[in-house]
Each structure stands twice: as structure tokens, then as C-alpha cells.
Amino acid sequence: MAGRGFMFLQRTLKRSSTVAGIGLHTGKPCQLTFRPAPTDIGVHLIKKIAGTTHSVKVYANNVKATTNATTIGNTEFSVSTVEHCLSTLAALRIDNAFIEIDGPELPILDGSSLPFFHAIQEAGVIEQDQPRKYIYIKDSIKIEEGDKSAAVYPYNGLRIQCTIDFQHKSIGCQSLDVDINEVSFAREIVGARTFGFLKDVEKLHSMGLALGGSFDNAVVLDHEKVLNKEGLRFHDEFVRHKILDALGDIVTLGAPLMGHLVLYKAGHDLLNRLVRKILQLPEATIPFEMAEPSYREDEDRLPWQMI
Ligand SMILES: [Zn+2]
């Protein structure tokens, strides 16, 4: 045993768990079900369309858009704002899962990851019989665009440092550095809600977007203050939500990261570029098989409905 080190096993959910709500953009009812998945599969989004089940792997190459939120998809379907449910999977160290989507989009819920976190905790997490395969960062990588940057440095664990700087009285400059684990996520990050500005909400509404958006699922600000009656959950809720988003976005690596992520005013786009760069590293050998989960469409019971 000496000198052999130790390993962590891959994890999945113990049983399925469903979260229901309305979609941010359509305002229509939708639900999401986390399901257990076999080892070495990673995380897949699943959707049934006209009786046929389609799936897409949560992976950088399948990221279709990064404006306002991260959209993952293929030619059959795409899903927006995936980062809030993915960050929960990352924090709870779930390697393999199916996320089945029922409805036009994911439920926005309260704009944080709290309902996803509760759903998975309720379902429970189990260890599987294969070791986790981390992507270890050996040399730092940095991507810059104007005054924004996203970098990753070697670190024995997963740590996310984020700085935002908004010319806004209620936000301003906020910075936080969190060593990510189940406990720190539950205490510092999980409840931080997404936020938006009233002027943008009005513009989105006129375009037929964000129809489900309300004070129930976002922190909304006018030109100087937070408009939600209940106020903020943390004085620096904004930067905490950015860490939540980043944790979700790095699930697109397809494997857990060992590194220190340092983000300065970086959004989904810069992070996606950093993820793609990490995946080009020789040391970031793609640890998971890229195989799609196999299923027969004429089967009533889908193979991932285990036990
Ligand atoms: Zn977000």
C-alpha cells in the first residue's frame, strides 16, 4: 500500500430524482430528472422527441452558445442554462449521470442551484467500481480578451477564484476564492442566484425571451439598487453566482478538474475557450470513452433505468 497513493471511485446517483418548475425563456412548465448512469459515461442530457430518445454528452465540443448562459446540444435538440444543474453535479462529485429533460427547457427554479442540490441529496450518491480519472493541470494556462481573463493553475484539489467588476452601486468589484467541496459549496455557493438588470429584462421580454423571468428566479437590479423585496442572500451574491456558473461550465471538460481556476470578469464564453484549451493538453488525455449511451428505441425500459 505504501507509495501507491489512494484513489477515488467514480460516483453516480443512488436513484432518480425529479425537479419541476417553469422555464426562464418560455415561462412554461418543465422538469428535469437526474438518473443514475454506468461508469465511464460522463454526464448526458436526454430528451424524448416524438417518441424517440435523443442524448447529447456534456462536453466542450457540444457547447452551442455561451451568450448569457451555456447551451449544450446537437442537431436534434439543445438545452440552455445548463450550468446551474451541472454545478451541483460537480460539487457533489458525480461523474456519471443522465439528465432527462421533459419540456422546452430546464426549470429555472429560484435562479440558484439549491433545488438541484436538495434533489440529489435526497436521491443519494453511490460509489461505483471504477476509479475517477482527473484532468491534472501541470502548467498554467491563461486566456485573455481585453481586460477579461480566465486562467488555470496547478492545484491539488479544485479551487475557483472569481473577480467581477460592474459599474453599478449595488455590485461594484467583488472577489472570492473558494476551495470547492460539498461543504463549501453548500455553505458559500449553492444558494447564490442569477441576476439581471431591469432594462435588459424589458428588452428580452420585447424579443419574446425571459418570459418566465421574475423576482422569484433572479436578483433584479435597476440602475442603482436591488429590486427584490427580500434583498440579497449574501452581500456578494453576484460573485458567488459566477463561481456557481463556472463550476457548472467546467463539467464540459468531461472529467473532474484538479486545478485552481482564476477568473477575472470572465463569462461563459471565455470559460468555454479555456476548457477547450485544457482539452488540447497532452496531459489532459480524454479520460472517458466518448461513447454515447446505447439504447434501443423499441425498448420500453431504457437501459439507464438501472434496478
Ligand atoms: Zn448562472
Percentage of the chain surpassing pLDDT 70? 90
Examine the residue annotation and report whether 268 is marked as an active-site residue of this protein.
Answer: yes
Continuous segment of H or E residues that includes residue 123: helix 114-123
Does 4 fall in a domain? Answer: no
Q: How far is the CA of 272 from the centre of ligand 1 (A)?
A: 14
In tens, the pLDDT along 160-208 reads 999 999 999 999 999 999 999 999 999 999 999 999 999 988 888 888 8
Q: How far is the CA of 243 from the centre of ligand 1 (A)?
A: 9
In tens, the pLDDT along 144-157 reads 999 999 999 999 99
How confident is residue 35, by pLDDT bands cut at 50, 70 and 90? very high
Does 55 fall in a domain? Answer: yes
Give the single-character DSSP code of 189: I
Enter the C-alpha cell of residue 2.
505504501
Over range 132-137, report the average pLDDT.
Answer: 92
Q: Say what the pLDDT of residue 264 is.
A: 98
Angle at 18 between CA 159 and CA 93, to 5 degrees: 25
Does 298 fall in a domain? Answer: no
How confident is residue 209, by pLDDT bands cut at 50, 70 and 90? confident
Q: How far is the CA of 70 from the centre of ligand 1 (A)?
A: 9
Residue of higher predicted confidence among 292 and 299: 292
Q: How far is the CA of 219 from the centre of ligand 1 (A)?
A: 11
Over range 261-275, report the average pLDDT.
Answer: 96
Q: How far is the CA of 283 from the centre of ligand 1 (A)?
A: 30
Average pLDDT, the chain: 89
Residue 225 has pLDDT above 60, yes or no: yes
Residue 290 has pLDDT above 50, yes or no: no
Q: Which residues pair with 179 in a beta bridge?
A: 159
Does 301 fall in a domain? Answer: no
In tens, the pLDDT along 58-109 reads 999 999 988 888 899 999 999 988 999 999 999 999 999 999 999 888 999 9
Tell me the whole-structure pTM to 2 decimals: 0.90
Q: Say what the pLDDT of residue 238 is.
A: 97
**CA dihedral defined by 210, 212, 216, 220, rounded to 10 degrees?**
20
Does 243 fall in a domain? Answer: yes
Q: How far is the CA of 300 from the centre of ligand 1 (A)?
A: 35
CATH code, domain with 191:
3.30.1700.10
Chain position carrying cell 475517477: 132
In tens, the pLDDT along 159-169 reads 999 999 999 99
- Say if residues 259 and 90 touch (Cβ distance below 8 Å): no
Structural domains counted in the chain: 1
Does 291 fall in a domain? Answer: no
Residue 288 has pLDDT above 80, yes or no: no
3-state secondary structure of 84: helix
Which residues form the domain of 70? 9-280
Q: How far is the CA of 73 from the centre of ligand 1 (A)?
A: 18
- Say if residues 79 and 101 touch (Cβ distance below 8 Å): yes
Candidate list 44, 84, 260, 268, residue with the active-site label: 268
In tens, the pLDDT along 2-17 reads 434 468 999 999 999 9
In tens, the pLDDT along 22-32 reads 998 889 999 99
- Extract the runs of DSSP E, i.e. beta strands, from 137-280: 141-145, 148-153, 158-166, 172-179, 195-197, 219-221, 257-264
Does 234 fall in a domain? Answer: yes
Q: How far is the CA of 69 from the centre of ligand 1 (A)?
A: 7
Does 260 fall in a domain? Answer: yes
